[in-house]
Amino acid sequence: MKEKKRVKSIIEALLVVSENGLSLDDIREAIIDVDNKEVKENIEFLRKEYDSPERAFNIAEIAGKYRIVTKPEYLQWINNLYKKETERLTSPALETLAIIAYKQSVTRAETESIRGVGVGGVLKTLLDKDLIQVKGRKDVIGRPLLYATTDKFLEIFGLNSLDDLPVLKDFSEEDLEYGKPQETVEIEGQGPKKSEV
């Protein structure tokens, strides 16, 4: 058995070079003579080391894989470096994606019933972006396709599993922002502006 400090350094090196993250099994296969408990302990040691304000990164478990990720407060400078145009989803796409995430596996008709509008084009967009996938067919007349989210969905939203989705709460009409006065927010040098709801 390798000494603990060495195992921690090996795990760190593996995580640094992995492009898509590593599962416990991936790490165990690479190191060979360690068990899951030892791997998890060393990942926790690394997390604690990285958790200091001096570090710009940490370890996250996303879609069942461990990966080194930068802390959100550094995103501005990372975007400046890569100057990559971020892909944005429209409100209808986000609404449809949320329905599929919480209700999966769900048919197009069920999704349209919840949204109250057609979702054919939105489903195509979400399929093209690999955020959803066809999981099979529902065992009813017509055998419609069933849609579910993908691992890429988990990665983009920083979730380890669907269990990490925020809990939906029942809300009343009073919870809605419609008709409530909007607070104003002053943006430096531009005077007061209404905040977005």
Inter-residue contact 43 to 59 (CB < 8 Å): yes
Mean pLDDT estimate for the chain: 79
Q: Tokens at residue 44, please?
A: 């926790």
Q: Which residue is listed with tokens 């995580």?
A: 15
- Residues paired with residue 69 on neighbouring β-strands, in sequence order: 58
Which pLDDT does position 147 carry in this prediction?
92
Query: CA-CA distances (angstroms) from residue 68 to 8, 18, 71, 175, 193?
Result: 14, 9, 10, 38, 38
- Domains observed in the chain: 4-77 (1.10.10.10), 91-164 (1.10.10.10)
Q: pLDDT tens digit string along 10-65? A: 988 999 898 888 888 888 888 888 888 888 888 898 889 888 888 888 888 888 88
Select from 51, 40, 41, 50 the least CA-distant residue to 16: 50
